[in-house]
Amino acid sequence: MIGAFYIDDIDIYARYGVVITSGGYNDLLCFPALKEPDANDWPEEDGVEVDLAAPVLEAKEVTISFACDRIDASDFIYMVSQPGYHTLRITELAKDWRLRLLTQTVNKDYNRAVTFSLKFADDFPGRSDDYTAVSGSGLTLPVSEYEIDDVPVSEYGIEIVGGWDDLLKSPTVKQNLTRSFATSDGQLYDADHVVFNSKETTLKCCLSAVDLAKFWECYTAFFNDLVQPDERRFYWDYTSEEYPCYYKKSSGFKVLSLADRIVVEFNLTLVFTVFRIGETEYVLANELGQILVLDEDTEIDMKAI
C-alpha cells in the first residue's frame, strides 16, 4: 500500500502503517449541499418562489475509515490533530482535499491492529468557474430520457437507475383556511381551491466514464451546471413534461469500479419548486413514436375518437 495515500506529502502507510479501508473515502466524493435559499410560499399558488440568483454552498463533513497494522495509531492521530488544514491525496483518484480534523468517531482494537474512523471538515466546496463544458464520458451510453436544461444526463455519463416512483408521486396539498370550534363536531375547511406544496425527490444515479480524467470532467461539469444561478429545468420523456427544480444535496456515493472504466453510484436530491400531475393525453403516433399531425397543425386526440 506504499504510495496509495498521502497527508501533507507524507506516505501514511510507510510512516504510520495506516491505510484508508475499502470504501472508506466515499464521503469525499459527495457534492456539497446547497444552503437553504430564501423562498416565498404563496398560499394561493402551487409550490414556492425561490431566490436562486446567487446559490451558496455548505461546507462538508466527511468521515474517512482507516486501518493500522500496528498496535495503535496514536502517532498518526497526533499528526492529523495538529493545527491548520491537512492535504489528503488519494493516488488512485488523482485528487487532493484540504481537511481539518473534527473528531474520532470509531475505534476498534484487534490486539495487533486497529481500525478507526475520523470525521473531517471540508471547508472548501468544489465550485469551479472555469470547468470544461460537458462533452460526454468517453463511453457509448443510451441517450437518457431525463434532461436538465435541455442536456440529456447521459452527456455527463450519468444514468438514472432509481427514484422513478418518488418522482411520479404527487406533492402534498397546501393547507387552506380551516376553522374548528370546541362546541361542534369536525371542522370547516375551504375546499374550493387546491394548490400543492413543493416536493423533494431523491434519484439514484450512476456515473460511468472511460477513464479517471473523463470522470472528473463529467463530475465537475455536472455539479457546477447544477448550482448555476436560477432554477434548473428537469424534463422526463416518460411524462413529456418539464419541471422547475433546484439542487439540494447528494449522498450515498459509492465507487464500484476504478478498473477498465470508472463507475460511481450516488443519490441526488432535487427540490421541485412546482410539481402538478396533469391529465394524461393520448395522441396518435407512428411505429417510430413520431406524433402524427393534421393539416391544421393539430395532433390527433385519441380520447376524442
Distance CA 150, CA 104 (A): 44
Asked if pLDDT for residue 28 goes beyond 70, the answer is yes
Helix (H) or strand (E) holding 112: none
Per-residue cell: 150: 435541455
- pLDDT for 240: 87
Check pLDDT > 80 for residue 305.
no
pLDDT tier for residue 31 given thresholds of 50, 70 and 90 = very high
- What is the Cα–Cα distance from 25 to 62, expressed in whole angstroms? 8
pLDDT in tens, 229-271: 999 999 999 888 999 999 999 999 999 999 989 999 999 999 9
At 156-214, the pLDDT tens digits run: 999 999 998 988 888 888 888 889 898 888 888 888 888 888 899 999 999 999 999 99
User: How far is residue 92 from each of residues 3, 23, 68, measured CA to CA in Å?
Assistant: 10, 13, 19
Using DSSP, state whether 61 is helix, strand or coil: strand
Which domains does the chain possess? 1-126 (2.40.30.200), 132-276 (2.40.30.200)
Share of the chain above pLDDT 70, in %: 91
Please give the Cα distance from 90 to 169 (Å, whole number). 40
Give the torsion through C-alpha atoms of 152, 153, 155, 160, to 10 deg.
Answer: -120
> pLDDT tens-digit profile of 65-96?
999 998 789 999 999 999 999 999 999 999 99
